[in-house]
Amino acid sequence: MDYKNSHSAYIVGVALGDGNLSNPNGRAVRLRITCDDAYPVLQQKIITSLSSVFPTHPVNTYKRKQNCTDIYCYSNELESILGWKAEKGSKEKQQVRLPGWIFSNKEYMRNCLCGLIETDGSVYKDRKYTYVNFTSIIRGLAQDVMILIDLLGYSSTIHSTIQKNGKRKFVVRVCKRSLEFIEKIGIQKK
């Protein structure tokens, strides 16, 4: 079965933002996405997308005490869709990048960017201007995001800072035509 579609592209973005892979039972890979309960529309969008990608696999939720919910499902196809491995450590340790298939289709690019920004990004106003940010501690992932933005006809800048924990954080920012970008990508974080 070919799992490469617009829902999968969105899940790639969400998983790279707020997801992790594990294989707790040694038989099937689990994707767990942690989502703040302040965003019920986003939670439902993630559940719907996962259910579309894996129609024969149950998508479950687990309510945490810290005002967030884990959304998870199991599938041995997850590693090939997402492009990283459950058993090889954190996304940072693996220096994850966007899987190559995302770059093959503008719809995939838009959906992946939407997932990335809805989890590890922000939309904000400063002095009457609207900006879109994406942040990551993984340089290659931030560079991939810049490439997607460019391929979709927009421009971005990248800045880096050293955090208190000593790690470098990369911020990709869309400043020009940001309202058009938000609409085109379909960002809705509610």
* pLDDT exceeds 80 at position 175: yes
Please count the other Cβ atoms lying within 10 Å of the Cβ belonging to residue 136.
24
* pLDDT exceeds 70 at position 1: no
Q: What is the pLDDT of residues 141-160, one digit of tens each?
A: 999 999 999 999 999 999 99
- For 58-89, letters b (16+ CB in 10 Å) and e give ebeeeeeeeebbbbbbbbeebbebbbbebeee
- Fold match between 6-95 and 106-185? yes
For residue 121, the surrounding DSSP H or E stretch is strand 121-126
What pLDDT is recorded for position 4? 81
Q: What percent of the chain has pLDDT over 70?
A: 98
49 vs 3, residue with greater confidence: 49
3 vs 136, residue with greater confidence: 136
What pLDDT is recorded for position 8? 96
Fold of 106-185: Endonuclease I-creI (3.10.28)
Take residue 63 and report the two structure tokens written for it: 């309510």
* pLDDT exceeds 90 at position 127: no
* pLDDT exceeds 80 at position 189: no
What pLDDT is recorded for position 63? 93
Q: What is the pLDDT of residues 56-90, one digit of tens each?
A: 999 999 998 789 999 999 999 999 999 999 999 89
CA distance 22 to 36: 21
Q: What is the pLDDT of residues 76-126, one digit of tens each?
A: 999 999 999 999 989 999 999 999 999 999 999 999 999 999 999 999 998
Q: What are the extents of the domains in the chain?
A: 6-95, 106-185
The whole model's pTM is what? 0.94
What is the assigned CATH class of domain 6-95? alpha beta
**How does the average pLDDT of the chain come out, rounded?**
94
